[in-house]
Amino acid sequence: MVRRDPTFRKPVKSTLTIIALLVLLASCSRTRPTVSEPGQIVLEKPALDEPRASVDSNPLVLVETDTVTIPGTEVSFTMALIPGGTFTMGSPDDEAGRDADEGPQRAVTVEPFWMGIYEVTYDEFAIFRYRDRDSDTATGPSFSADAVARPSPPYEDPAHGMGNQGFTAAGMTQWGALHYARWLSEKTGDFYRLPTEAEWEYACRAGSTTAYSFGDDPAGLDDYAWHYGNSDEVYHEIGQKEPNAWGLYDMHGNVSEWTLDQYDAAFYASLPEAAASPWAQPTRLHPRTVRGGAYDDDPEALRCAARLESNLNWKRRDPQIPKSYWWNTDSPFVGFRLIRPVNPPPPEDIEAFWAMVLGE
């Protein structure tokens, strides 16, 4: 597969082009799920060009959801319940656009979890980013807004002028995304984290066995994703495209998403034939694994199995010494979404987890 050099991304369009695009988007209707009853959404079964592994027999897919309001604010986010199960991780040798790091394929089992139906938005991240938007209001009694480690001011706009309210948060490092997850966990009393590569791919596939969640033909991608061919080289407001069968929007394209894993091109080869909840635990800051493809990627980079390694050049224009731990000056194409395990680990294990992934 020919992938764009991750050390170089195309420049964003001019401010006038961005403004024109936002005006156009404001005039367009947004695709939203149909509410059937509190806590559930019903999605029309998407048209497929290949058989689907687990949902093809049902004319409608019922997705259980949970909407969470961040304590002390009016900002909320919605999560979909992703059932645990076993799937084939990676891509077959004959998949168009395949890279060698997508194999060998392995049968992988994951536990059930809740996943954000959208990438974490600017509106959500801003409560964590700006002290004056946060408060001591929390589910638990021990939360203190003054004790939170918050992002330092970025060298420049992490979004590169592409949008804030109603758009995905972008341009943060994986370390910054992890700090947001810990802050949200402490504020709500529930354990949130980044998905592992295995969890991310399982959720992206949503029961499918094809290159994309909707089939093998990239011609259908415009219905599901913002990519180089239709994005005008900017990311877009969340939820403009069709969701996958499990109610998740923008798993293909818009912005790529951080996962919890250290990037290892040979990781799959190190797994047993049947692996349970695999995770390439981090041993160094770079590279980490990014999934999903972005608004400035070609279709093959948006496949369910496509992997991208983070690169130090993503902050090459940062003049600070040392360079920011929180922000990348050159990766407005990266954001993140969170999961919440159905069966969270005990508190002492959660504390050990944060200490390990944040290097504390």
Structural domain boundaries of the chain?
15-357
Cis peptide before 104 (omega within 30 of 0): yes
Confidence of residue 39 (pLDDT cuts 50, 70, 90): low
Domain 15-357 is found in CATH 3.40.50.10420:
no
Q: What is the pLDDT of residue 140?
A: 82
pLDDT tens digits for range 167-225: 999 999 999 999 999 999 999 999 999 999 999 999 999 999 999 999 999 999 999 99
Sign for the pseudo-dihedral over CA of 230, 235, 239, 244 = positive
What percent of the residues of the chain are helix, what percent strand, and what percent coil, each to the nearest 5? 20, 20, 60
Residues near 80 by beta carbon (within 8 Å), at least 6 away in sequence: 41, 63, 64, 65, 114, 115, 117, 246, 247, 248
Tell me whether strands 113-116 and 288-291 are parallel, antiparallel or unpaired: unpaired
Average pLDDT taken over every residue of the chain: 87
Split at pLDDT 50, 70, 90, the class of 20 is very low
Which tokens is 273 given?
A: 């034939």
State the average pLDDT over residues 328-344.
97
For residue 348, give every residue at least 6 positions away whose Cβ sits within 8 Å of its Cβ, in sequence order, or none. none
Cα 180 from Cα 127, distance rounded (Å): 10
State the pLDDT confidence band at 62, using cuts at 50, 70 and 90.
Answer: confident
pLDDT band at 34 (very low <50, low <70, confident <90, very high): very low
- pLDDT digit string (tens) for 248-301? 999 999 999 999 999 999 999 999 999 999 999 999 889 999 999 999 999 999
User: 10 vs 274, which has greater pLDDT?
Assistant: 274
Which region among 24-28, 154-158, 276-280 has the lowest average model confidence (pLDDT)? 24-28
Q: What is the pLDDT of residues 93-141, one digit of tens each?
A: 999 999 999 999 999 999 999 999 999 999 999 999 999 999 999 998 8
